[in-house]
A and B are shown apart, each in its own frame.
Chain A
Amino acid sequence: MTEITPAPDTDLRPPRSQWLDVWDQFKTHRGALWGMGFFVVVLLAVTIGPYLWTIEAQFIDIRARNQGPSFAHPFGTDQLGRDTLSRVLAGGRVSLAVGITAMLLALGLGTLIGVIAGYFKKLDGPLMRFTDLFLALPLLPLLLVIIMLFRDTLRAAVGPETGIFILIVLIIGITSWMQTARIVRGDVLALKEREFVLASYSIGTPARRMILRHVLPNVLSPIMVSATLGIANAIITESALSFLGLGFPSDFPTWGRLLFDSTDYLQQYPERVLWPGLAISLTVLSVNYIGDGLRDALDPRIRGR
């Protein structure tokens, strides 16, 4: 019978995973915690909020138009008597959906190109020149041009709402992957020189498994940080497009569109721009704070202290 001898006291500490350490460090960043809390609240509000606040966002009550805040309409109503609170909730749904999907698309593209460029030496030059070319394109003018060109075609093909959603997500995703690709490529290049990669290479690991098993998990931290920046960027770009009148149509509210529509009534009802504007600003602020906290928490040089 073999008996397990108890290890010395120092080794008895419960095992800690890396992510627990990261969380501990993340918790020390006050702004990041607040940002996380706020972002979760916003996410919950736009997902389950419309079930609790049951007024339809499109419901027109023309007798109750242009009202100030009241119990029936906490945020007031617009020029057609539509409830602003439910419109802000519905708009948030679209804005956040656009932000998150566009971020995922940009992240996927950026990671793919970054990993391939960093891992395969032959493709490095062409892919990075390609990235430089994209970085040299004037993005906002091009986004506007592309929307003008393809809006009607897509609208006819898959319906007005899905069409514009797909278009906006696609163009934001396609035009914002470059930073991620550059960061990932740099990290992959550094990783390739490490001993464990050499060891893995020497036992004949194929490239595909090498990338999935050894490279990708180790470049996860820069990817996560650029994910947060990507959400913030996508939300701002979408609202900017809607604000220029080239995003979603008026009957399909997003935060940017609501802000744009409210600016027509700036002289008479100046308080109306407040809600969508605050929603965009606070969400982006909270996401940026989460990014700041994540960057600190994922940096091993800072985490140790």
Chain B
Amino acid sequence: MFNYTIRRSLLAVPTLLLISLIIFLLLDLAPSDPTANLPLTIPPEVREKIRQSLGLGDPIYIRYILWCKQFFINEPLNILEHIFGWQIGGDRLRVLSWQTRSPVVDLIVQRLPQTLWVVGLSYVLGIVIAVPIGVISAYRQYSWFDQIGTFISMVGFSVPTFFTGVLLIVIFSVWLGWFPSIYDTTHQVTDWSSFLVQVKQMIMPVSVLALFNAAQISRYMRASMLDNLNQDYVRTARAKGVRERIVVLVHVLRNSLIPVTTVIALGVPQVFGGAIITEQVFKVNGLGQLLIIAIQGGDVPVVQTLTFIFALLIVLFNLIADVLYGVLDPRIRYD
């Protein structure tokens, strides 16, 4: 198992390098000019100098290797220095945003808490809702609870988050006026009342994403429980007089959670991607909004780095899912 993990991690490195190259080449095709938004009074030769200062004069492979060095070596060192207060070497080149001229990683660190709060909380909430619904739905298959549960999960799975989000805004902030429709990220939680304001503005984005996640996970949970409920070991447990509650909640639930855990792990990067839309609906200035602004402004370093971070998340959670599956299910140890 340990060997397998090491081998998979090593295999992830060329994959990631290839992905970063693809993203880099794709962005390099961009006809967008970073100086296009500057005033027209700037003479062409100055404009050309600005382009040179952004590093656009170098051949493509030098720019790619430079980006790799900055992203894979310099930035991790910076983070280490920041955390432990060390001093490693002197000043290092950083990946700079063309729009703000500030390091991309700093921008991401600024935006990360908002995204993590909204996305993370909604994912956790989605799991907490989905597991009991899946268990009860499967245990009482074709009961009214199951019928309603599967219907709601089908609806939650089909209705796109940009419609549920807008619908919630119409109902709860336009008609009822209970919650604000715009997420205020400058809001500081200092006391009880400001905490309540924070909770109020988080309810809608979190519930939109939570509903979507819960719908997907509960479908898997139900299917996995149904698979396990008819197994021989369940009959054995019942036959030897184990109480029904323990059969379902200990024997069946634990075994059914194995595939669901991997589904949950695989879903994490997709949730980050899906949050781009939800952030746009509720005007949360998280990572998704940063990406949209950067794309619209032709800010290649930001787009490149963010897209690569999304890819990194996908590869990482694929790895976690595979390893978890082996750890949880002894029949699937890859030795």
A and B from one complex? yes
Interface residues of A (CB under 8 A from B): 31, 132-133, 135-142, 144-146, 148-149, 152-153, 232, 236, 239-240, 243-244, 246, 256, 259, 263, 266-267, 270-271, 273, 277, 280-281, 284-285, 288-289, 292
Known contacts A136-B15, A136-B315, A138-B314; A280 and B273 CB within 8 A of each other: no
- Give A146's nearest chain B residue, CB to CB: B26
* Residue of B32, B175, B291, B296 touching A141 (CB-CB under 8 A): B291
A residues in contact with B175, CB < 8 Å: 270
How distant is A143 from chain B, measured CB to nearest CB, in Å? 10
Instruction: Give Cα A133–Cα B15 distance, bound, in whole angstroms.
Output: 7
Find A142's partner among B23, B31, B158, B313 (CB 8 Å cutoff): B23
Residues A284 and B292 in contact, CB atoms below 8 Å apart? no
Name B273's contact: one of A31, A139, A271, A285 (CB within 8 Å): A139
Question: Are B19 and A137 closer than 8 Å at their CB atoms?
Answer: yes
User: Does B189 have its Cβ within 8 Å of any Cβ on chain A?
Assistant: no
Q: What is the distance, in angstroms, from B263's C-beta to the closest C-beta of chain A? A: 14
Q: Is the CB of A149 within 8 A of B26?
A: yes
Q: Does B295 contact A (CB under 8 A)?
A: yes
Q: Which residues of B contact A138 (CB under 8 A)?
A: 269, 273, 307, 310-311, 313-314
Asked whether any CB of chain A lies closer than 8 Å to the CB of B257, the reply is: no
Roughly how many angstroms separate A152 CA and B32 CA in the complex, as a whole number? 10
Evaluate contact between B155 and A285: CB separation under 8 angstroms: yes
Tell me whether A244 and B292 are in contact (CB under 8 A): yes
State whether A136 and B314 are in contact (beta carbons under 8 Å apart), knowing that A149-B30, A284-B159 are contacts in the complex. Answer: yes
Q: CA A173 – CA B307 in complex, angstroms? A: 20
Contact B155 A140 (CB under 8 A): no
Chain B 272-293 interface mask (CB, 8 Å, partner A; 1/0): 0110110011000000000110
Q: Is B104 in the interface zone, CB < 8 Å from A? A: no
Smallest distance from the beta carbon of A157 to chain B beta carbons, Å? Answer: 13
Chain A residues contacting B19 (CB-CB under 8 Å) are 133, 136-137
- The secondary structure that dominates the A interface is helix
Give the shortest distance, in Å, between B90 (CB) and chain A (any CB): 34
Residues of B within 8 Å of A256, CB to CB, are 162
Is B306 an interface position by the 8 A CB rule?
yes
Do the beta carbons of A240 and B31 come within 8 Å of each other?
Answer: no
The answer to whether A273 touches B170 (Cβ under 8 A) is: yes
B30 to chain A, nearest CB (A): 5
Contact for B157 among A140, A277, A288, CB less than 8 A: A288
Report the nearest A residue to B27, measured CB to CB: A145
Number of interchain pairs (Cβ within 8 Å): 120
In the assembled complex, the CB of B33 is this many whole angstroms from the nearest CB of chain A, namely 12
> Lowest 5 A-B CB distances belong to which pairs?
A138-B310, A277-B163, A285-B158, A270-B170, A281-B159
Docked Cα-Cα span, A285 to B19, in Å, equals 34
Bound together, the chains give a CA A263 to CA B311 distance in angstroms of 31
- With A243-B277, A266-B174 given, name 11 new contacts (CB 8 A): A31-B154, A136-B15, A141-B276, A141-B303, A141-B310, A148-B296, A149-B30, A259-B162, A280-B160, A285-B155, A292-B154
How many chain B residues touch A (CB < 8 A): the figure is 48
Residues of B within 8 A of A267 (CB): 174
Given A244-B277, A273-B170, A284-B160, does the pair A142, B154 have CB atoms closer than 8 Å? no
Does more than half of chain B's interface fall in helix, strand or loop, or is it mixed? helix
Distance between B106 CB and nearest chain A CB, rounded to angstroms: 20
Does the CB pair B181–A266 fall under 8 Å?
Answer: yes
* Chain A residues within an 8 Å CB radius of B157: 288
B154 adjacent to A289 (CB under 8 Å) = yes
Residue in chain A with minimal CB distance to B170: A270
Is B169 close to A, CB under 8 A?
A: yes
Asked if B277 and A285 sit within 8 Å, CB to CB, the answer is: no
Question: Is B169 in contact with A266, judged by CB distance below 8 angstroms?
Answer: yes
- Our pick among A140, A244, A270, A288 for the contact of B154 (Cβ within 8 Å) is A288
B29 within 8 A of A: yes
Distance of A240 from chain B, by nearest CB (Å):
6
**Residue of A with least CB distance to B30:** A149
A165 to B160 Cα, complex, angstroms: 21
Q: Across the interface, which residues of B come within 8 angstroms of A280, CB to CB?
A: 159-160, 163
How far is the CB of B180 from the nearest CB of chain A, in Å? 12
Q: Which of B158, B170, B276, B303 sits near A140, CB closer than 8 Å?
A: B276
Given the complex of chains A and B, what is the CA–CA distance between A266 and B181 in angstroms? 10
CA A292 to CA B223, docked complex, whole Å? 13
Q: Which residues of A contact B29 (CB under 8 A)?
A: 149
A225 to chain B, nearest CB (A): 15
Q: Closest approach, in angstroms, between the C-beta of A176 and any C-beta of chain B?
A: 13
CA distance A145 to B26 in the complex (A): 8
Contacts of B32 in A (CB 8 A): 148-149
User: CA–CA, A232 to B155, complex, Å?
Assistant: 13
Best-surrounded residue of A138, A140, A152, A288 (most CB of chain B within 10 A) = A138
Q: How far is the CA of A185 from the CA of B27 in the complex (A)?
A: 32
Residue B50, interface by CB 8 Å? no
Q: Give the distance in Å from the alpha carbon of A187 to the alpha carbon of B160 in the complex.
A: 31
Q: Does B22 contact A (CB under 8 A)?
A: yes
Known: A142-B307, A148-B32, A153-B31. A285 touches B291 (CB 8 A): no
A residues in contact with B292, CB < 8 Å: 144, 244
A93 vs B304: C-alpha distance when bound (angstroms):
35
Give the nearest-CB partner of A232 in chain B.
Answer: B158
Shortest Cβ gap from A261 to chain B (Å): 12
Asked whether A137 lies within 8 Å of B311 as measured between CB atoms, the reply is yes
